Amino acid sequence: MTDQALQTEFEFTLPRGFVEDDGTMHKEGRMRLATAADEIQPLQDPKVQSNQSYLTITLLARVVTDLGTLETVDRSVIENLFVADLEYLQAMYERINNTGRNVVESGCPECGQLFDVDVASGAPLRPEDDDAVALDAGEDGAIGGEFNPAGDRSEPPESADDQEATGDVPAGNSAE
C-alpha cells in the first residue's frame, strides 16, 4: 500500500474552449472523480428520461468543477461547448473514473516500447513502485537521451520551396 493520497481532481485544457457571449474564451478547467450519486441522480431528471443523450451533459455539469473564470459550470455551459470539447471531456471522464489517472498509452516509434503519457502535461510517465512518475525531458525533448517524442531533429526540415522544386512530399499524415 502506498502513502500517496488519492487524486480526486484533474486539470484539463479544452481543445477549442468555451466562448461566452462577450467573446471571453475559457479553456483551462478541472474535473473531479464521479460518485455513484453523480451517475444515479441524473437518471431521475425528466430531460435525461426523455433523451438519454442528455445524460452526458448532466454528468459533465456535475463533475466539471472549474472552467476558466466562470463562476459556475452548469448544464447550459456544457450544452454550449464545441463538439470537440465535449468529446474531450467525455474521454477524460472515462479515463479518470476507470483508471484514476488522466493518461493515455503511447509507444516509442523507434523501439516500440509502450509507456503512458499524462494528458494534461504531455509528460511521458514511467511506473515506479506502482505509481506513475513523470520522466524528465532534456532540452531537446529527449528522455534519458534515448527517446525524442518530437522526432529526430538532427537535420533541419525541408522548406516548402525545396519540396516543390524536387517534387518530394514528406511522408505521414498530411491533414494540415
What pLDDT shows up at residue 128? 52
**Overall average pLDDT of the 69-90 stretch:** 97
The helix-helix angle for 54-63 and 83-99 (nearest 10°) equals 70
Contact 41, 32 (CB under 8 A): no
DSSP 93: H
**Highest averaged pLDDT of the listed ranges 6-15, 129-138, 167-176:** 6-15
What pLDDT shows up at residue 163? 45
**Overall average pLDDT of the 41-45 stretch:** 95
Which tens digit of pLDDT belongs to each residue from 95-142?
A: 888 877 777 888 888 888 888 887 777 778 766 534 444 444 444 443
R_g (Cα) of the chain, nearest Å? 21
For residue 15, count other CB atoms closer than 10 A to its CB.
11
Give CA–CA dist 114/144, Å, rounded. Answer: 15
Hey, what's the cell of 166? 524536387
Going from the C-alpha of 15 to that of each of 88, 92, 118, 153, the distances in angstroms are 8, 12, 16, 26
Hey, what's the cell of 153? 531533429
